[in-house]
Amino acid sequence: MKLHVSCILLSVVFMFAACGSGNTRSGAVAEAGPVKDSTEAQMVKVPGKKPLRLLTERPYNLETPLRYFLEDFTPNDVFFVRWHLPVPPAPVDEDTFRLRIGGNVGRSIALSMKDLKTKFTPYKIVAVCQCAGNSRSHFNPRVPGAQWVNGSMGNAVWTGVKLKDILAMAQPKANTKFVSFNGLDQPVFPSTPDFVKSLEYAHAMDGEVMLAYEMNGEPIPFLNGYPLKLVVPGWYATYWVSMVSEIRLYADSFKGYWMNKAYLVPKGVPNGNEKPDSLAKDMEPVSKLDVRSVFVSPQPGFTMQKGKTYEIQGLAMDDGTGITKVEISRDKGKTWAQARLDPVLGKYSWRRWRYTYTPVEEGPVEFLAKATNAAGATQPWHQWNRSGYMRNEIESLPLNVSK
């Protein structure tokens, strides 16, 4: 813990943005309603990052303010940060760092960063990294956990090596079923389980799961997992293990706290739904991203002028199936109009949508946004689960119209 504290003895600057009252964090039940601007919250400046919304300090949990989602690729210096255990005290030394691969393999190997950058064909993919708990603060009744608004997500170009190429070098045994991933972060007390995640072997070998050493063309930022981050396109970010240093293969299943006790959702239920008074009994690990859309601009409560034309803008994403439609409603879902979709930046990227609107009447107006993907999957009107995962309820944006 001492080491960790020293690492975060930083010039912590608190700021309160001028807009908004900030009362969304007061502990009241969060309404399942409009997207709230992260800039209402307390902000913190840590090395390597611009001011971000502070959720917790030990370890760091930092949220990206909404306005950065006007960019297609989330800049590294505002990319959200999520840790369960203390962040290692200092960046690793690239020369001495080794990625170890062992377990059910023909030969255990240890790879240096230089090995990874020179002995394999580089691979690049655009993918959204979204925490399974993103937007948790909107769940009603409120659920425990980091009270994210919509900013525990980001889109980036990831460069590195396909996991299947790396595993092949260790000669996996034919009966391999699971692969686990451990990072350099460690619990303070031996009773706290280390953060280890696993994937089925076939998934790990699908040619898309990769180990990234670059994010948007730069080394992965320290707080996002320097020097190596597992990228699992289309899957929630809990699998995107930061500072990966150990990979193990198993002939049978892998069991561990972070796979079998945490990050569970009701099994086989669309949108991970359950009811507070009748919780699901059968649970399974969270996995693929639900279809969702979020509003990015304008800010909630913005006042438009009658007769002027405005662009309402947002993002939509899913598990890689592909967003095919985003619809907008101004009458609580009775009628829907299609938004325009920007070009696809990659199947695992988010996709920007735009809707042009010219108000003709004064008064309040509420927009709803609903995305649909190529498999016909869309967003629910109501959603709840005990841990606040996979949030993808249809969102609303309240605006005003003046003379």
Ligand X SMILES: Nc1nc2c(c(=O)[nH]1)N[C@H]1C(S)=C(S)[C@@H](COP(=O)(O)O)O[C@H]1N2
Contacts to ligand X by CB under 6 A:
79-85, 129, 131, 183, 185, 195, 224-225, 237-238, 240-243
250 binds, among ligand X, Mo ion, none (CB under 5 to 8 A by kind): none
Minimum CB–partner distance for residue 209 and ligand X (Å): 14
Minimum CB–partner distance for residue 170 and Mo ion (Å): 28
Closest residue to ligand X in the complex (CB):
183
Minimum CB–partner distance for residue 60 and ligand X (Å): 8
84 binds, among Mo ion, ligand X, none (CB under 5 to 8 A by kind): ligand X
Minimum CB–partner distance for residue 194 and Mo ion (Å): 16
Q: Select 7 or 55, whichever has its Cβ closest to Mo ion.
A: 55
Q: Select 34 or 225, whichever has its Cβ closest to ligand X.
A: 225
Binding-site ranges for Mo ion (CB under 5 A): 82, 131, 237-238
Minimum CB–partner distance for residue 238 and Mo ion (Å): 5
Q: Which amino acid is at 128?
A: V
Q: Select 81 or 265, whichever has its Cβ closest to ligand X.
A: 81
Q: Select 113 or 326, whichever has its Cβ closest to ligand X.
A: 113
Q: Select 318 or 327, whichever has its Cβ closest to ligand X.
A: 318
183 binds, among Mo ion, ligand X, none (CB under 5 to 8 A by kind): ligand X
Neighbouring CB atoms inside 10 A of 42's CB total 14
Q: Select 81 or 179, whichever has its Cβ closest to Mo ion.
A: 81
Minimum CB–partner distance for residue 194 and ligand X (Å): 9
